[in-house]
Structure 1
Amino acid sequence: MKRSELVADTAITLLAERGMRGLTHRAVDEAAGLPPGSTSNLARTRAALLELTLSRLTELEIHALGPAYTTARNGTLGAQAGMADTVAEGLHIQIRDRRRALARYELALEATRRPELREIYDAAGSRFRDPAVALLAAQGSRDPVRHARQLVAFSEGLMFDAIVGAGGTPTFEELRQAVEDFLAGMLGRPSRGP
């Protein structure tokens, strides 16, 4: 593992465990077992550390989503049910890795206060929104850009509730049904039902 990956992976864990206040260069060095000053040699400023962490987090999420991400990016689904399965699979993967999700929420909140991080966060987000546009266009959406924003917001809400809400962790089937119902309403088509 490259040192930059070790630093970023450790920062992700610290964000999930301690929040934004617990993420310091010194804390990363200690948690990663690195000599003092190693993290600041790699990422001189706090902004640089946050950028490195967000880039790595995006890379890890794309890797974890694997086939679901590739299918979505290529817009290669024929039926609404197939799209619901693909989106639900992605949600299920994201929900299972609570550490990554909590770190992403911390970074999202910090991006509202740091314009330089906001730019990187938005660019990372487009790597997930753009495939949703392609999938919805393939489904015949009359406004795939608007519908993609709505699908992403809906998906984010499901993940947030599962990770920090009181609703518990949904099963894959519950996620698939929720996504299918949402798509049916958005695209004006019937849902398969439970």
Structure 2
Amino acid sequence: MATSTTRAPGTSRADLITDAALGLLAERGMRGLTHRAVDERAGLPQGSTSNYARTRQALLEATVRRLAEREAQVLAPGELPMPGGEPWEATEGPDALVAGLALALHRYLTRHPELLICRYELALEATRRPELREFFDATGRQFREPLVALMTAAGSAEPERHALSLVAWCEGLMFSCAAGSYHRSVPTAAELRTGFTELLRGMLGPRGQ
């Protein structure tokens, strides 16, 4: 039986409910995500989740939204963590960009693997629910569009295509480390820097060296 979600000071009831939903997805999968189970996990009176999200579709949409918020704290290109704590600027060159990308991805893989499991659960559910697919794709644009801008600033001649290649490389790595054959072999930050360097070198040419 899942333990109750601890409510941090200042956490809204909506966040408490959706964080509990994410916890259930990571532990039990989509079948374990019910309104009653969320109430129990969140430590709330029965009916609280139903009052917040009347239907399963509403609960799924709220969970997707919360997942995007939590992923944004780790992966949003506009807030990539740099060694010095500042966002990347094009004038800093590709080395700083590589360092930020590697640090963000390593932090996600080592500290938040449960969010990856939630993402895969919700993505698969979206393939069966057209209305959720539309909502899932809309939340994904908050990551894709800044990444295209990031590649443009880095000097990419084809930022849309290069952003897709970068996302595909990261997604493949994340799946392999979260649910695939490399789940016991998460790359180090140094290994990720090497991978990003090789990838950007192919995309950007001399600027990606």
Between 178-187 and 11-20, report the one with greater CA deviation.
178-187
Bigger helix fraction: 1
Q: 1:65, CA displacement in angstroms? A: 4.0
1:70 aligns with 2:85: no
**Match among 188, 191, 195 for residue 178 of structure 1:** 195
Query: In structure 2, what residue type is equivalent to 1:77?
Result: A
Structure 1 position 187, deviation (Å): 2.1
CA deviations 1:87-135 (Å, max 9, x no partner) are 1122112212011111111111111111221122112211111121111
Q: Using a 3 Å threshold, how does the CA distance of structure 1 residues 99 and 182 change in structure 2: closer, same or farther?
A: same
1:9 paired residue number: 19
The one-letter code of the counterpart of 1:30 is E
State the match for 1:83 in structure 2.
97
What is the Cα deviation at residue 75 of structure 1?
6.8
Could you list the runs of 5+ residues in structure 1 that have no partner in the other structure? none
SS at match of 1:15: helix
- Letter in structure 2 aligned against 1:172: A
Work out the CA distance in 1 between the residues paired with 2:90 and 2:99.
10
Gaps of 5+ in 2: 1-10, 82-86
**CA RMSD after TM alignment:** 2.0
Which structure is richer in relative contact order (CA contacts within 8 A, separation 6 or more)? 1
> How far apart are the structure 1 equivalents of 2:136 and 2:196?
25
1:107-165 Cα distance to aligned partner (Å, 9 max, x none): 11111111221122112211111121111111211110111111111111111111112
Structure 2 partner of 1:110: 125
1:146-187 CA-to-partner distances (Å, cap 9, x unmatched) read 111111111111111111122211111111111111111122
The answer to whether the aligner puts 1:122 opposite 2:110 as a matched pair is no
Taking every aligned residue pair, what percent have the same amino acid on both sides? Answer: 52
Equivalenced residue count is: 190
Residue 190 (structure 1) shift: 8.0
The TM-score, its normalising length taken from structure 1, stands at 0.90
Instruction: Give the aligned partner of residue 46 of structure 1.
Output: 56
Deviation at 1:71, TM superposition (A): 4.9
Q: Which amino acid aligns with 2:79?
A: T
* Partners of 2:80 and 2:101 within 8 A in 1: no
Provide closer, same or farther for how the CA distance between residues 140 and 191 of structure 1 changes in structure 2, counting only shifts above 3 A: closer
**Distance change (3 Å), C-alpha of 1:65 and 1:148:** closer
